[in-house]
């Protein structure tokens, strides 16, 4: 500006000087007025040109001016570029911030001072069934109609979070959300939502587990306490005393089996995966399983002495001379539980088949029986701990309710899975399916292993 003013004064004084030499004071004033008018006009034209350039020309457009106006243009360009860069950085930070909130597993809702929705991320939309375009500036209480939330929102303080039902909850899956209000800014509020369904289910499973264990142990303890009181208070004959002691022994064995299964399940859930180089000889392994199965069938027959014979029709498929890579104790536990269930739940005279089958990708141990079968609605939950289709009948068979849970964990630790197929009135098929890489060929191996039927 000083340069422009200096230039204006210089030309006016020069014009006044020339005009004074030409025709005195009148000429000086006239010529100075003309030069001043011309400079004002030129400055106005240049100002309009600068304004048009600022409105319509890009910042990278080269300037064809000269002098002080070129310097002004360059400085304006630098300032605008700096401001444009700063604005772009702020916009990018805002986009990154919004993307981070969108990627958050927790729901985020911004509420104005009136409790109306200004913005929410996708997680909050899924949790509460919101649509930011449809529900923009709608009051949150009008959209989240849970009585617990309405009461919570009406409070003056929100130091603690509350639990409400999620919008996507169904009869088969009860979704639980934790919501927490935080004040910020001038009367605004931040509503955070968190899916705690898994935590709620884990807590419910823990409570059920403790209740089931307590119930399973309390029953034999009650029986034993009753027998002990009877033995202490009433004089009994030797035969009666032996009968009571035998019943107490049965209940003690039941508790021991329960504790053993609980310890096994705990080790499976928290232990390291089985080592690959440990191998199990399948023919020898299955010989042990077959002997135990027939012995259990004979015990359940009710016969006494050494004359016990199995009451089931067993079919043991030929086991090729292959070795299985895995933990022997875990595999014995899983297979024994499947076989034991088949023996216990199949009526006398029923058929039970044990087989190892293989295809290109997997190897399967299967137990097929002709028992009563299981209704389809129970199949997804059979491998849950202590889950029983018929509690009274299950206790009569002597099971602990943990066998299938153990079998499932063993299969998973060996890279496989437990599969259950059953039809009411026709029987059941329980299969442990492992990757084919678990098989290790031995020197006496047969060329091929039985192929799984796809029928």
For residues 177 and 167, the model is more confident at 177
Q: Which of 190-194, 252-256, 302-306, 376-380 has the highest mean pLDDT?
A: 190-194
Residue 246, CA distances (Å) to 3, 226, 239, 253, 255 in order? 117, 14, 10, 11, 14
The pair phi, psi for residue 437, each rounded to 5°, is -65, -10
What is the rounded CA–CA span in Å between residue 382 and residue 384?
6
Q: Cα 10 from chain centroid?
A: 81
105-195 with 203-271: one CATH topology? no
Convert the pLDDT of each residue in 136-155 to its tens digit: 999 999 999 889 999 999 98
Per the CB < 8 A criterion, the answer to whether 407 and 432 are in contact is yes
CB 191, CB 152: distance < 8 Å? no
125: Cα separation from own chain's centroid: 18
CATH topology of domain 274-455: Heat Shock Protein 90 (3.30.565)
Give the architecture-level CATH label for domain 105-195: 2-Layer Sandwich (3.30)
Helix (H) or strand (E) holding 90: helix 68-103
Task: Report domain extents, the chain.
Answer: 2-99, 105-195, 203-271, 274-455
Query: Whole-angstrom Cα distance, residue 81 to residue 97?
Result: 24
Give residue-wise pLDDT tens across range 331-373: 988 999 899 889 988 988 899 999 998 888 889 999 999 989 8
C-alpha distance from residue 142 to each of 15, 119, 152 (Å):
79, 16, 14
Token look-up 């009666």 returns: 240
Q: How many CA atoms lie within 13 A of 317 on its CB side?
A: 18
Q: Which residues pair with 314 in a beta bridge?
A: 352
Whether pTM exceeds 0.75: no
Fold entry, domain 203-271:
Helix Hairpins (1.10.287)
Q: Tell me which of 226 and 10 has the higher pLDDT.
A: 226
Side by side, which strands form the sheet with 313-316? 313-316, 351-358, 362-369, 427-435, 417-423
User: What's the start-to-end Cα distance of the chain, in Å?
Assistant: 95
51-67 pLDDT, tens digit per residue, is: 666 666 555 666 666 56
Judge whether residue 45 has pLDDT over 90.
no
């Amino acid at each position: 500006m000083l340069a422009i003013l200096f230039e204006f004064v210089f030309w006016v004084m020069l014009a006044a000087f020339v005009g004074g030499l030409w025709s005195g004071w009148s000429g000086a004033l006239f010529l100075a007025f003309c030069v001043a008018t011309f400079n004002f006009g030129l400055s106005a034209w240049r100002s309009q040109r600068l304004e048009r350039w600022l409105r319509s020309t890009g910042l990278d457009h080269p300037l064809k001016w000269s002098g002080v106006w070129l310097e002004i243009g360059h400085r304006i360009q630098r300032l605008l570029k700096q401001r444009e860069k700063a604005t772009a950085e702020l916009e990018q930070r805002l986009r990154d911030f919004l993307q981070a909130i969108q990627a958050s597993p927790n729901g985020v809702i911004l509420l104005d001072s009136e409790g109306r929705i200004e913005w929410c991320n996708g997680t909050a939309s899924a949790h509460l069934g919101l649509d930011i375009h449809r529900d923009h500036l709608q009051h949150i209480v009008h959209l989240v109609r849970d009585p617990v939330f309405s009461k919570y929102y009406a409070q003056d303080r929100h130091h603690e979070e509350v639990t409400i039902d999620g919008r996507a909850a169904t009869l088969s899956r009860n979704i639980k959300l934790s919501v927490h209000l935080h004040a910020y800014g001038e009367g605004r509020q931040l509503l955070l939502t968190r899916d705690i369904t898994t935590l709620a289910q884990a807590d419910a499973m823990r409570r059920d587990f403790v209740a089931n264990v307590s119930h399973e142990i309390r029953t034999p303890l009650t029986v034993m306490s009753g027998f002990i009181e009877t033995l202490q208070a009433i004089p009994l004959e030797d035969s009666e005393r032996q009968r009571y002691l035998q019943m107490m022994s049965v209940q003690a064995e039941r508790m021991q089996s329960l504790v053993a299964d609980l310890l096994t399940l705990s080790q499976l859930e928290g232990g390291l995966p089985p080592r690959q180089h440990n191998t199990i000889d399948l023919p020898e392994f299955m010989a042990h399983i077959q002997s135990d199965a027939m012995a259990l069938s004979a015990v359940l027959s009710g016969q006494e002495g050494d004359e016990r014979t199995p009451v089931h029709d067993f079919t043991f498929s030929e086991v090729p001379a292959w070795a299985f890579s895995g933990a022997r104790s875990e595999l014995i536990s899983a297979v024994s539980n499947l076989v034991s269930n088949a023996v216990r739940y199949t009526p006398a005279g029923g058929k039970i088949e044990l087989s190892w089958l293989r295809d290109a990708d997997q190897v399967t141990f299967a137990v097929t029986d002709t028992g009563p079968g299981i209704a389809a609605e129970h199949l997804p939950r059979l491998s849950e701990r202590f889950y029983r289709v018929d509690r009274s009948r299950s206790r009569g068979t002597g099971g602990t309710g943990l066998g299938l849970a153990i079998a499932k964990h063993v299969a998973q630790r060996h890279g496989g899975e437990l599969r259950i197929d059953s039809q009411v009135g026709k029987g059941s098929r329980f299969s442990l399916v492992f990757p084919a890489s678990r098989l290790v060929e031995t020197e006496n191996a047969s060329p091929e292993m039985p192929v799984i039927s796809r029928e």
